[in-house]
Amino acid sequence: MNRWWASCLLSLLLFSGCAADSEQPPSTRNPAAPPAYGDSLIDSTIGEPTTLIPILASDSASHEVANLIYNGLVKYDKNLELTGDLAESWEISRDGLSITFHLRKGVKWHDGTEFSARDVMYTYRVTIDPKTPTPYAEDFKQVKTATAPDRYTFKVTYEKPFAPALASWGMNILPSHLLEGKDLTKSPLSRKPIGTGPFVFKEWVAGQRIILDANKNYFEGRPYINSYVYRIIPDNSTMYMELKVGGIDMMNLSPVQFQRQTNTKAFLARFAKYRYPASSYVYLGYNLRHPLFSDKRVRQAITAAINKDEIINGALLGMGQATHGPFKPGTWACNQRQKDIPYDPEHAIKLLSEAGWKTRNSQGILLKDGKPFQFTILTNQGNDVRLKTAQIIQQRLKRIGIDVRIRVVEWASLLSQFIDKGNFEALVMGWTITPDPDLYDVWHSSKTGPKELNFVGYKNQEVDRLIEQGRSTFDQEKRKQCYYRIQEILVEDQPYSFLYVPDALPVVNLRFRGIEPAPAGISHNLIKWYVPKMEQTH
Amino acid sequence: MYSYLLKRILMLLPLMLGITLITFVVIHLAPGEPVEMQVAMNPKISAKTREKMREFYGLDKPLHVQYVSWLNRLARLDFGRSFAPDNRPVIDKIKERLPITISLNVVALIIEFGLAIPIGILAAVYRNSLFDKGITIFVFLGFAVPTFWLALLLMYFFGVKLNWLPISGLHSLGSDRLPFVQRLLDLARHLVLPLTIASFGSLAGVSRFMRSTMLEVIGQDYMTTARAKGLSERAVILRHGLRNALLPVITLLGFSLPGLIGGSVIFETIFAIPGMGQLFYMGVMARDYPLVMGILVIGAGLTLIGNLLADIAYAFADPRIRSVKN
């Protein structure tokens, strides 16, 4: 009976849905309307920011908001190249040991005080202060000396050349005149920040919204948009409905929403959809300490038995691309000519037989020394795409005689009970790809200890050497050679079966103009986004 | 009666202590630590930094020391500071969200009991009638349909398709610039769907409960006597039946009190209502021990007070209980 009622109700809704969508008027927009000041951009976030003092925050929501309020000395431009932000220019000494930043003059904090090298020095000191509970001290701890010879110069020296150092100065700079000598963790700035950035903090209503106003005196020019509103909406479906009724102007779509739910005329008349590779990848990682995976031919065989395109089509509805290394396709460190192990189940069976997996039991499972080839893939709860990925892998491996089980574990348990203790066989997980290609933390053999990130236990001396070389020079061409070679080795060694880089799928209301999709995404020129006068709604 | 009450109140203290001890142990038994939850899988954090952060939160001390110092603070009504990176006092975070949840749940409770009691009475009086059967179906729908699913359907239908009601949040953007009456109307429009969802699920349970207790009462001898005295059916049911049938419902109301503060994670999440349910859920996910303990202590306190009030109400409603307890 319940089911009957439910299906009646559902069909009624779906029917009314079709009718309503087709009644929307077609777009009457003028694509060449000139830029104008005004209107609000209403964005949405699933999680509420925790603090707007960026060095204390560890969640992406906090950093997203803080990045509109603060600046770093450097930033990534639309092509993911480092460019000046609060620093007008910089010089790297010939030996690569020191960086001298020349700061912009006349930049004002939102309270009117002038920005100077003192603020940079304060931010550096408070970050390395042992009393500050910050996760971002590591890069700054490499600094041997930091000096501020005058108001507009800041110089740092390192023990040895350290390529990721430059990017680390993208850290948001804090106002020393408001914080010096005070306890950062109890500062009111965590709820009412004062920065130098394009937007000025206006209001934070807990659990509901954060409102930022345009900084009329921003050094790169006043943003066209008058205010930026972050609505906190903890549920993705609610967010999507809010988008449809105009409650929010932009969000990130899921592959299903992008492919199946937003291809109506009515939707496309109101929204622009964007699609570009996200800065992350998903992989099947092996516990290399486990005897099952100690032979690289076995790992190569598993990769050869997995059809990556099938996973992308099945789990991501085609919204992604296959990958075989840890870099984002299209960036300078990624070797586009490097060939992956192709999908070839026959070759996989051959490789396994070479590794000693020759006979099969009555269920068709491969045997070696009488033991069946059987392992469990772990993945974290709440990520449907990863679970589907594991299931598709399970099916493919079954066909070549490998029995795979899947176990979905809550995030905290996965970390503490399995990954930290090395108590796993294989896992489907993902990594964020940082713009700087340094691989030290995830791939260096010194990082295989407990609670460290090379938890699969990958050790390769040549890779170690190349990683060290890559991070000790600022010469991009030399670094590129190191990373190209690392990719060759990783394809050969297959410590992970690298699977795919998913696409980022943002959608923005069409009344916003001036959006330029680039490798860095769409938000890199936010201050240039505008709404033509005729179309302004807020 | 008074000595009984005094005893009951004194019993609350050890009970409360036991509850805090158990919850403290249980939440610390859950895998994962606040620091881990904040920095896990972050390549930029060394083991040393992690240790520093644990020290900052006092997590390096043995569990019993942590518990005693927490208890010490609690005795001074200090709930401590949140382990979230904002490090704000727990009580501030709770204060921000408590009024929303309490007022929302009080209204939901009034709607729920206001509807459930008459529905239950009518269903019992007209037992096996079309009305009773219709209500039974309605009630089972309420039991069976998952809250989040119904919430999404209503949001889609009344929000997206018909555009009659706002989908989420408590206020429209810029509503603070509206005159008072319009602001109130705006809030009311935002509350229609959440309140419907909040009351619907429990409405089913309470009305069913009311029906069965009423049915029990209807068959009693004193009801027949009342009828024999020549009282109208209406007076028999409302004056004699209802009073007795309400007794177990009062207990139910007592049990609903902690729900006033705990809120509902599901509907608060779906409707983006910044209440205690949401705060508690986020606290648990982040292993924010002081926040979780703070909310639990207040919740446990309310449960105990709720039970006590239910007992008192019971005693007042039924003279027999008063005399037995004396």
What digits encode the pLDDT tens for the residues B83-111? Answer: 888 888 999 999 988 888 888 888 988 99
Does B12 contact chain A (CB < 8 Å)?
A: no
Same domain, B229 and B186: yes
Does B49 contact chain A (CB < 8 Å)?
A: yes
The answer on pLDDT for A331 being more than 80 is yes
CATH of the domain at A467: 3.10.105.10
CA distance A271 to A248: 11
In terms of CA atoms, which chain B residue is nearest residue A189?
A: B86
pLDDT tier for residue B242 given thresholds of 50, 70 and 90 = confident
pLDDT tier for residue A29 given thresholds of 50, 70 and 90 = low
Q: Determine how many CB atoms are found less than 10 A away from the CB of residue A138.
A: 20
For chain B, what is the radius of gyration of the CA atoms? 24
Task: Point out the domain boundary residue: B75, B107, B130.
Answer: B75
Does A1 contact chain B (CB < 8 Å)?
A: yes
Same domain, B272 and B138: yes
Same domain, A42 and A152: no
pLDDT in tens, A351-388: 999 999 989 999 999 999 999 999 999 999 989 999 99
The pLDDT value recorded for residue A20 is 38
Does A14 contact chain B (CB < 8 Å)?
A: no
Beta-carbon separation of B287 and A412 below 8 A: yes
Q: What are phi and psi of A336, to 5 degrees?
A: -70, -25
Task: Compare CB distances from B44 to A136, A205, A229 and report the shortest one's residue.
Answer: A136
Q: Which amino acid is at B311?
A: D
Please report whether residue A43 resides in a domain: yes
Q: Which positions in chain A touch B56 (Cβ < 8 Å)?
A: 131, 133
Q: Which positions in chain A touch B161 (Cβ < 8 Å)?
A: 13, 16-17, 20
Please state the rounded mean pLDDT for residues B181-208: 89
The pLDDT value recorded for residue B35 is 82
Beta-carbon separation of A234 and B269 below 8 A: yes
Task: Compare CB distances from B43 to A133, A415, A453 and report the shortest one's residue.
Answer: A453
Interface test mutation site (partner B, options A138, A270, A452, max chain B beta carbons within 10 A): A138
8 A C-beta contact, residue A234 and residue B272:
yes
Please report whether residue B315 resides in a domain: yes
The answer on pLDDT for B245 being more than 90 is no
| Percent of chain B scoring above 90 in pLDDT | 20
The answer on pLDDT for A26 being more than 60 is no
Beta-carbon separation of B137 and A1 below 8 A: yes
Q: Which positions in chain A touch B137 (Cβ < 8 Å)?
A: 1, 5
The answer on pLDDT for B236 being more than 60 is yes
Same domain, A437 and A525: no
**In this predicted complex, what is the ipTM?**
0.83
Q: Determine how many CB atoms are found less than 10 A away from the CB of residue A223.
A: 25
DSSP-assigned states of every residue in A181-216:
TS-GGG-GGGTS---SSSEEEEEEETTTEEEEEE-T
- A40: domain range? 1-62+197-275+505-538
Instruction: Looking at the complex, report in whole angstroms how far the Cα of residue A165 sits from the nearest Cα belonging to chain B.
Output: 12
The pLDDT value recorded for residue A23 is 35
Q: Which amino acid is at B150?
A: L
Instruction: Looking at the complex, report in whole angstroms how far the Cα of residue A50 sits from the nearest Cα belonging to chain B.
Output: 6
Question: Which DSSP symbol is given to A511?
Answer: T
Beta-carbon separation of A416 and B173 below 8 A: no
Most confident of A165-169, B54-58, B231-235: A165-169
Q: For chain B, what is the mean pLDDT?
A: 85
Same domain, A291 and A202: no
SS3 category, A396: helix
Helix axes B2-29, B289-317, angle to 10 degrees: 150
Count the domains in chain A: 3
Q: Which positions in chain A touch B160 (Cβ < 8 Å)?
A: 20, 241, 244-245
The pLDDT value recorded for residue A17 is 40
Beta-carbon separation of B145 and A138 below 8 A: no
Please report whether residue A444 resides in a domain: yes
Q: Which positions in chain A touch B46 (Cβ < 8 Å)?
A: 138
In terms of CA atoms, which chain B residue is nearest residue A236?
A: B270
The answer on pLDDT for B243 being more than 60 is yes
Instruction: Looking at the complex, report in whole angstroms how far the Cα of residue B59 sits from the nearest Cα belonging to chain A.
Output: 13
pLDDT in tens, A91-120: 999 999 999 999 999 999 999 999 999 999
Beta-carbon separation of A235 and B166 below 8 A: no
CA distance A381 to B250: 40
CATH of the domain at B173: 1.10.3720.10
A65-69 long-range Cβ contacts below 8 angstroms, 24+ apart: A65/A210, A65/A212, A65/A230, A66/A172, A66/A193, A66/A195, A67/A172, A67/A197, A68/A197, A68/A198, A68/A199, A68/A212, A68/A228, A68/A526, A69/A110, A69/A193, A69/A194, A69/A195, A69/A197, A69/A199, A69/A200, A69/A201, A69/A212
| Percent of chain A scoring above 90 in pLDDT | 79
8 A C-beta contact, residue A70 and residue A193:
yes
Residues 59-118 of B with CB under 8 A from A: 84-88, 93, 96-97
Does B181 contact chain A (CB < 8 Å)?
A: no
In terms of CA atoms, which chain B residue is nearest residue A45?
A: B272
Per-residue buried b or exposed e for A417-443, using 16+ beta carbons within 10 Å of the residue's own CB: bbbbeeebbbbbbbbebebbbbbbbbb
pLDDT in tens, B55-82: 888 888 898 999 999 999 988 889 999 9
Q: Which positions in chain B touch A61 (Cβ < 8 Å)?
A: none
The pLDDT value recorded for residue B321 is 63
Same domain, A305 and A266: no
Task: Compare CB distances from A233 to B85, B88, B272 and report the shortest one's residue.
Answer: B272
CA distance A314 to A396: 13
- Beta strands A426-432 and A374-380 are parallel
Report CA torsion sign: B184, B189, B190, B193: positive
Beta-carbon separation of A412 and B145 below 8 A: no
Count the domains in chain B: 2
CATH of the domain at A123: 3.90.76.10
Beta-carbon separation of A206 and B88 below 8 A: no
The pLDDT value recorded for residue B6 is 81
Please state the rounded mean pLDDT for residues A500-509: 96
Same domain, B292 and B199: yes
Beta-carbon separation of A441 and B43 below 8 A: yes
Same domain, B114 and B263: yes
Please report whether residue A185 resides in a domain: no
Beta-carbon separation of B44 and A186 below 8 A: no
- B134: domain range? 99-325
Beta-carbon separation of B31 and A206 below 8 A: no
Q: Which of A157-161, B59-63, B247-251 has the weakest average pLDDT? A: B247-251
DSSP-assigned states of every residue in A44-91:
EESS--S-S-TTT--SHHHHHHHHHH---SEEE-TTS-EEESSEEEEE
In terms of CA atoms, which chain B residue is nearest residue A192?
A: B86
Same domain, A436 and A350: yes
Beta-carbon separation of B44 and A56 below 8 A: no
Does A442 contact chain B (CB < 8 Å)?
A: yes
Same domain, A267 and A355: no
The answer on pLDDT for A3 being more than 50 is no
Same domain, B189 and B70: no
pLDDT tier for residue A492 given thresholds of 50, 70 and 90 = very high
CA distance B196 to B191: 8
CA distance B12 to B311: 14
Does A411 contact chain B (CB < 8 Å)?
A: yes
pLDDT in tens, B21-46: 998 998 888 888 888 777 777 766 77
Please report whether residue B109 resides in a domain: yes
CA distance B132 to B122: 8
Same domain, B70 and B112: no
Same domain, B108 and B70: no
The answer on pLDDT for B296 being more than 80 is yes
Same domain, B11 and B145: no
pLDDT tier for residue B285 given thresholds of 50, 70 and 90 = confident
Please report whether residue B92 resides in a domain: no
The pLDDT value recorded for residue B176 is 82
Strands (E), A323-425: 359-360, 366-368, 371-372, 374-380, 403-409
Same domain, B28 and B134: no
- Which distant-in-sequence residues (6+ apart) come within 8 Å of A351 by Cβ? A297, A298, A300, A301, A304
pLDDT in tens, A441-486: 899 999 898 888 899 999 999 999 999 999 999 899 999 999 999 9
Q: For chain A, what is the mean pLDDT?
A: 91
pLDDT in tens, B105-135: 889 889 989 999 999 999 988 988 998 898 8
Please report whether residue A46 resides in a domain: yes
Task: Compare CB distances from A51 to B47, B56, B85 and report the shortest one's residue.
Answer: B85
The pLDDT value recorded for residue A179 is 96
CATH of the domain at A34: 3.40.190.10
Q: Which positions in chain B touch A238 (Cβ < 8 Å)?
A: 152, 155, 167-168, 270-272
pLDDT in tens, A434-443: 889 999 989 9
Beta-carbon separation of A10 and B153 below 8 A: yes
In terms of CA atoms, which chain B residue is nearest residue A430?
A: B41
Same domain, A419 and A453: yes
Please report whether residue B290 resides in a domain: yes
Task: Compare CB distances from A9 to B36, B40, B153 and report the shortest one's residue.
Answer: B153
Instruction: Looking at the complex, report in whole angstroms how far the Cα of residue A267 sits from the nearest Cα belonging to chain B.
Output: 13
Please report whether residue A191 resides in a domain: no
SS3 content of chain B, % helix, strand, coil (to 5): 80, 0, 20
